[in-house]
């Protein structure tokens, strides 16, 4: 996959992807890496939380699906991240209807199925807010 949109600056740092669908998890990781960040992907929020507790210093963004297996769901995971590491930006995704009042503050929400442009726009709006992108 090759994204060639004007305005995307290389994104430095790590992006954590939490998604239980293996195809979508791989796609999201590829998209993140295409714009220059390092993607680290997990099937469960439990695994992602353990990873962050051990090594979070390079993480700039978490993208989490709400309905993942394990003890921790996406919204709860994002709440944990926002309270412990407030400088980490967050995106929540879900194929189910989510009450917008339950989405943690300062978290972008993408309803599935989202378009490639929507994901890239969300990521870049959080990680390069002073340089908006333009779709060709």
Domain edges within the chain = 14-126
More confident residue, 135 or 120: 120
The torsion of the CA quartet 56, 89, 106, 47, rounded to 10 degrees, works out to -50
Mean pLDDT over residues 116-131, rounded?
85
Q: Which CATH class is domain 14-126?
A: alpha beta
- Whether the pTM exceeds 0.85: the reply is yes
Cβ(75)–Cβ(100) below 8 Å: no
Q: State the pLDDT at residue 4.
A: 52
Cβ(78)–Cβ(63) below 8 Å: no
Confidence tier at 136 by pLDDT (50, 70, 90): low
Task: State the DSSP H helix or E strand holding residue 62, giving kind and residue range, or none if neither.
Answer: strand 59-65
Q: Is 67 left (phi over 0), alpha (psi -120 to 50) or beta?
A: beta
Q: State the pLDDT at residue 3.
A: 55
């Amino acid at each position: 996959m090759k994204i060639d949109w004007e305005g995307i600056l290389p994104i430095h740092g790590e992006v954590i992807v939490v998604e239980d669908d293996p195809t979508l998890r791989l796609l999201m990781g590829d998209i993140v890496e295409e714009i220059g960040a390092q993607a680290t992907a997990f099937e469960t929020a439990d695994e992602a939380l353990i990873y962050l507790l051990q090594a979070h210093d390079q993480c700039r963004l978490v993208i989490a699906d709400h309905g993942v297996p394990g003890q921790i769901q996406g919204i709860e995971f994002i709440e944990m991240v926002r309270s412990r590491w407030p400088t980490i930006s967050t995106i929540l995704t879900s194929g189910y209807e989510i009450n917008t009042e339950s989405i943690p503050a300062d978290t972008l929400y993408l309803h599935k199925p989202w378009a490639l442009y929507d994901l890239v726009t969300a990521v870049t709006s959080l990680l390069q807010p002073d340089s908006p992108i333009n779709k060709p």
